[in-house]
Amino acid sequence: MDILKNKLDPKNLEKLVAISNAKMHAFVAEAIELTNPASVCVFTDSAEDLAVIREKAKNGGGECVLATEGHTSHFDGPKDQARDKANTKYLLPEGMELGASLNSTDKASGLAEVQGFLKDSYAGKEMLVCFFCLGPTKSDFSISCVQITDSYYVAHSECLLYRPGYEQFKNVGENEEFFKFLHTQGKLNESGCSAETDKRRVYIDLVKNTVYSTNTQYAGNTVGLKKLALRLAIQKAAKEGWLAEHMFIMGINGPAGRKTYFAGAFPSACGKTSTAMLPGQTIVGDDIAYFRKKDGKMMTANVEQGIFGIIENVNADDDPIIFESLNNPGEVIFGNVLISDGKPYWMGMGADVTASGTNYQGDWNPSMTDVNPSHKNARYTIRLNALDNMDPELENPNGVETGGIIYGGRDSDTQVPVEQAFDWTEGIIAKGASIESETTAATLGAAGVRTFNIMANQDFVSIPLGQYIQNNLDFAKGVDSVPPIFSTNYFLKEDGEFLNGKLDKMVWLLWAELRVNGDVEAIKTPTGWIPKYEDLAPLFKEKLNKDYTQKEYIQQFTIRTANMLAKYDRVEAIYKEKVADTPKLVYDTFAAIRKRLKDLQAAKGDFVSPLDL
């Protein structure tokens, strides 16, 4: 308390101590001693405090004002454009093991390194202390958080993405767990970007629920409550018997006014947000979901209140609701797009890119063919309540009942566009725990490489993978009506061309909604149930005004037995090599599926038309 009194003025001290939590006070005091700020500003939930964050972000705090009212832009440097997987590590105390597949370092040396980068990093700067809530407030889903940063851009982003948590924090008892985040953008260059990205570190202390982030501005590394908090939540959920997943939540409208809620996991840049934003449906959330069991039902809630979405190829035809919101007045942060005359431009926006402008690497013009006008991982940050299709249950403290679960990836030659697993076990193991996806620009490294990504959550799992699978398998116990599980694949190709249009995904999800409610039959394959042509054609016509031919159906839903066998061989090899605690049920399930595939292959070959099943 002496440290706080010496550094905080009376007004900010009063705000801080109004939250009676000695552990939080200690965290702030320790951060002050470590980072040595010139001043400390504490923010409440008030409109006045939020306005201060917004205005300071626009005036030297990392954002530039754009022509449309409420719009701002932010640039991360050329070497700070994605989540840094290599330097994101768990700090493990002696005796704690997560397995070879998860990136970690010993706690003592890792803490010394990252605290060395944090030492005096706030000298001459203001420390911002912000409070947020993961999940709806006053709910079983609620987790209180404190974010300390020297970046008004980071604070502003979190104000858009997360529910205010100051008042919520007042209800946290002294012994209640809360999440802690300490970030510095480090030294800045003349463009206002982090200058020492070689010292970029994102270290996670699972024991103390604390994340340290240094020398970076990219939101995936700095907005602590997003994927960094997901890692903490997965650990907490494992202890307490619930699930924290990398999933959207959406309402799919069925016949006669019926709505069924689906959750879905997709790796980054694989159609996750565009699925959650399908026209005619409603969105509860696009990224992270918590699941709890209540009264025999599987309930889920959106951890966030906003979207940090990839903007490439967002246009009026494919993403009309998002596109309209991004072109109307309102609070939006554009990240790493091209700016010209106060307007944002991005690749795939459906309009010509302006002749010249400024982007993440400086001045740009069309002659610079080695640099894209807008980064492939350029983003937008916006509140969900700015969207016309926000679901009215977003803030329901009980969450929404899960009607179905979807796992999707980026697969050009193997899986059909939509398929229902035979049961929960095969859904978790053969759909979720077997996701492979081609890499994209959302993470640093080469793009286009086929990568294993368990439950589309590989980068964020903070417990041994075998335990993570078992927790998912066990979660169906005690649920009266277990949600069906589906796989989707929007990226099937033939002769280098996609076999589906971008909005075809609507039909796959509408079919899944019909299946959940028992409205249509399906065709049995070795790996699950696929649609009948006669059920898809009317949906294409009614919803997309598209004539869906039987030829298209056969192309898309042909069972590629050899490719499917190769897929399960690859995935099983990964489990045997890297996941020492893999449950035996995983291998038994793979064996059963492999036998069914081999039987079909022996009878009908490597490519089997759905009409021959």
What pLDDT, on the 0 to 100 scale, is given for residue 416?
97
In the predicted model, what is the mean pLDDT of residues 422-435? 97
Q: Provide the 3-class DSSP secondary structure of residue 503.
A: helix
Does the pLDDT value for residue 363 go beyond 90? yes
Q: What is the pTM of this model?
A: 0.94
pLDDT tens profile 385-395: 999 999 999 99
What pLDDT, on the 0 to 100 scale, is given for residue 159?
98
H/E segment holding residue 205: strand 201-205
Which pair of structure tokens corresponds to residue 386? Answer: 């700015």
For residue 432, what pLDDT band results from cuts at 50, 70 and 90? very high
Identify the residue with better confidence: 53 or 274: 53
In the predicted model, what is the mean pLDDT of residues 120-133? 98
- Rounded Cα distance, 454 and 195, in Å: 34
β-pair type (418-420, 357-359): unpaired
What pLDDT, on the 0 to 100 scale, is given for residue 441?
53
pLDDT tens profile 243-288: 999 999 999 999 999 999 999 999 876 888 889 989 899 999 999 9
H/E segment holding residue 276: helix 272-276
H/E segment holding residue 129: strand 126-134
List the catalytic residue out of 130, 145, 159, 270. Answer: 270
Domains of the chain: 2-62+81-240 (3.40.449.10), 244-305+394-612 (3.90.228.20), 307-384 (2.170.8.10)
What pLDDT, on the 0 to 100 scale, is given for residue 101?
67
What pLDDT, on the 0 to 100 scale, is given for residue 586?
98
Q: Are 488 and 417 in contact (CB under 8 A)?
A: yes
- Rounded Cα distance, 180 and 413, in Å: 43
For residue 172, what pLDDT band results from cuts at 50, 70 and 90? confident
Exposure string for 440-461, b = 16+ CB within 10 A, e = fewer: bbbbbeeeeebbbbbbbbbbbb
H/E segment holding residue 261: strand 259-265
pLDDT tens profile 546-580: 999 999 999 999 999 999 999 999 999 999 998 98
What pLDDT, on the 0 to 100 scale, is given for residue 447?
54
pLDDT tens profile 201-214: 999 999 999 999 99
What pLDDT, on the 0 to 100 scale, is given for residue 404?
98
For residue 174, what pLDDT band results from cuts at 50, 70 and 90? confident
In the predicted model, what is the mean pLDDT of residues 374-402? 96
- Rounded Cα distance, 509 and 138, in Å: 32
What pLDDT, on the 0 to 100 scale, is given for residue 94?
85
Identify which of 379, 370, 499, 475 has the alpha carbon closest to the alpha carbon of residue 427. 475
Identify which of 385, 390, 375 has the alpha carbon closest to the alpha carbon of residue 73. 375
What pLDDT, on the 0 to 100 scale, is given for residue 516?
98
- Rounded Cα distance, 317 and 295, in Å: 42
What pLDDT, on the 0 to 100 scale, is given for residue 354?
80
- Rounded Cα distance, 516 and 98, in Å: 36
Tell me the average pLDDT of the chain: 94
- Report in angstroms the alpha-carbon separations of 202 from 115, 127, 207, 372, 468: 11, 19, 16, 28, 22
Q: Which residue(s) pair with 40 in the sheet?
A: 127
What pLDDT, on the 0 to 100 scale, is given for residue 440?
54
CA 345 to chain centre: 24
Active site residue 270: yes
